[in-house]
Structure 1
Amino acid sequence: MKTNYSLLFYLKKPKHYTSGPVPIYLRLTVAGKRAETAAGREIDPARWNSKTGRGSGSKENTKTLNAYLDTLLAKVQQAHQSLISSGKAITAENLRNAFGGKAEKQCLLMEVPLLPAAQHILSRYQDHPQYENTGLLLPVLSNQKMNAYLKEIADLCGIPFHPPPPPMLFLH
């Protein structure tokens, strides 16, 4: 399924704007629905051509900005192609997320082998009401909580959770 989209670069002035550079935004429109994201660059409004969606002038920094905007355009086109090839719905939000590198959260169930002693302990609680109601004997933890527990265990075991960076070598 091929769905067309439109892309527009525009300036978005802050509420209390007086003067100076203004952030450039990128607007994606698919089937009338919009999604916006910051382009990560700024320009003086006097040097912006709103019809072309590019900086005007021949200075080096304007040429660099326009090349950057062309790169963003190419990345959006690539994201559009990847959505088409993966068969995902092409919406303004999906296109922005694919372009911005935001991945969908994935739910992945894993089987973890247990030692016989752990299996014996868990087998004692097979008739527990929590297991009968939810089918889960142990709580399902969030990544944040799991990381906190791992840090705590690492501290108790004397394992640095974040290893120190390698030593720097200085050559003379």
Structure 2
Amino acid sequence: MQYDLSILFFLKKGQVDKKGLIPIYLRITVNGERSEVSTNRKVEVSKWDSDTQRAKGRSEAARILTDYLDSLDSRVKRDYNALNERGEVITASVLRDNLIGKNLKKYYLVQVFEMNNALIEKEEGQKYTRNTIDQYITTFNRIKLFLSQEYACTNIALSDLDVLFIRRFEIFLKTSYGIEHNTIMKHLKQLKKVIHFAMELGYLDRDPFLQHKTTFKQGSRGYLTSDELQRIETHKFRIKRLDQVRDVFVFVCYTGLSYSDLERLKPDSITKGIDGKNWIIYEREKTGVRASIPLLPAAQSIVDKYRDDPECLINNQLLPVKSNQKLNSYLAEIAELCEISKHVTMHLGRHTFATTVTLTNGVPIETVSKMLGHTSLKTTQIYSKVVDTKTSHDMGKVAEKLLQREVS
């Protein structure tokens, strides 16, 4: 059967409220049969364009209203096409009832999250790293705990998700776990991706994150000073595991490798570079960007130290790399023994390479960016700001000395 579909947005001018706002209605017409439904939105008559059936102007409010009406238009057309493909009878009232959710099957957040996590597990090592998969699992577990404690339930319909749900989850993460802003944003980012996955499946026709921004704060990057790095390098450790962990950490300080890339290194990861010297040339697991790092003498000496190490030979490893959790735990001991008050972690070694080892010694930021495998120079510029801060601090000391000289 042939159908003639018409969709019209119009103002119900007889229902103007005290603020002068008029409700916007949606009229669906199929083969002459009409059905109307409120869009639950209002607008001033002067800000409505009856020709385009959308809000006038380019303000943020106009854009949001237009996006919303566009989404309703798309939903009606999508339902119409789906019914048509299945050969079902299409009427204006059926399309209206589908739009308001009267005939729609409910889908739930927990099931979609489980489906998403199962799919990305299958792409481990290809599209997703183990670390990324673990992040999804952690966010999922915290969502379930949040539902239990804040909503006294084990699940929630996707259609019930809104900005308030997201905001409450954000506060829950902050108060229950005491985690910093950027970590909270990472959890919200995982949730947002799962919701968008549900929208792709047709389980949800609106985005609860549309009016919620997951913005990250640009924090300062900690690093070891040259003196602190030297203290760790030269300290004599009596315990073998601390000696090994120190070597692995120092290797990172002189290569800038992330943990995920470090643990993948094998003896054949060292190749001859364009200058005939040893380089590490690899693709970053996180971004897939090719990175090339010439081995500095300090890094080369560590490679030489473990060339015939039994543990490395058995595991086909370049260095005796343990789990990131264990390495960071042992680094806390190392920091205490070396009288360093900073929170020393494997990632701090990567920051140290970017600041103390390279940028501070005049290596161009473009070169540092390539060695770190960054996809954008903006990411590397965070480190240059740290170096600028140090320069300012050092020059402040010079100014003080010069002032004292003048006084004397």
TM-score bracket relative to the smaller structure: 0.5 to 0.7
Between 1 and 2, higher relative CO (CA 8 Å, sep ≥ 6) is seen in: 1
Q: Which residue of 1 aligns with 2:6?
A: 6
Structure possessing the higher radius of gyration over alpha carbons: 2
Deviations 1:14-66 (A, max 9, x none): 45756521111000011211100111211111100112111111111101111
Equivalent in the alignment of 1:167: 149
Structure 1 segments of 4 or more deviating over 4 A? Answer: 14-19
**Is the 1:23–1:40 Cα contact (8 Å) retained in structure 2?**
yes
Higher share of residues assigned strand: 1
**Residue 100 and residue 85 in structure 1: after superposition, are their counterparts in 2 closer, same or farther (change >3 A)?**
farther
- SS of residue in 2 equivalent to 1:166: helix
- How far apart are residue 2 of structure 1 and its match? 3.5
- SS of the residue 2:149 aligns to: coil
Which residue is 1:33 aligned to? Answer: 33
Give yes or no for the alignment of 1:54 onto 2:54.
yes
Instruction: Name 1:143's counterpart in structure 2.
Output: none
Q: How does 1:93-172 map to 2 (within 5 A)?
A: 93-103=93-103, 166-167=148-149, 170-172=176-178
Deviation string for 1:73-110 (max 9, x for gaps)? 11011010121122221111111122222228xxxxxx
**What secondary structure, in the 3-state scheme, does the structure 1 residue paired with 2:9 have?**
strand
TM-score, normalisation: structure 1? 0.58
Gaps of 5+ in 1: 105-164
Return the alpha-carbon distance in structure 2 between the equivalents of residues 16 and 47 of structure 1: 14
State the distance in 1 between where 2:16 and 2:74 align: 33
Number of residue pairs the alignment of both structures matches = 113
Pair 69,16 (structure 1): closer, same or farther in 2 beyond 3 Å: closer
Report % sequence identity.
36
The amino acid that maps onto 1:45 is V
CA pair 167-98 structure 1, distance change in 2 beyond 3 A: closer
Segments of structure 2 that go 5 or more residues without pairing to the other structure are 105-146, 151-171, 179-408
Residue aligned with 2:77, SS = helix
Distance 2:44 2:81 in 1: 33
Counterpart in 2 of 1:78?
A: 78
Name the structure 2 match of 1:129. Answer: none
Letter aligned with residue 101 of structure 2: G
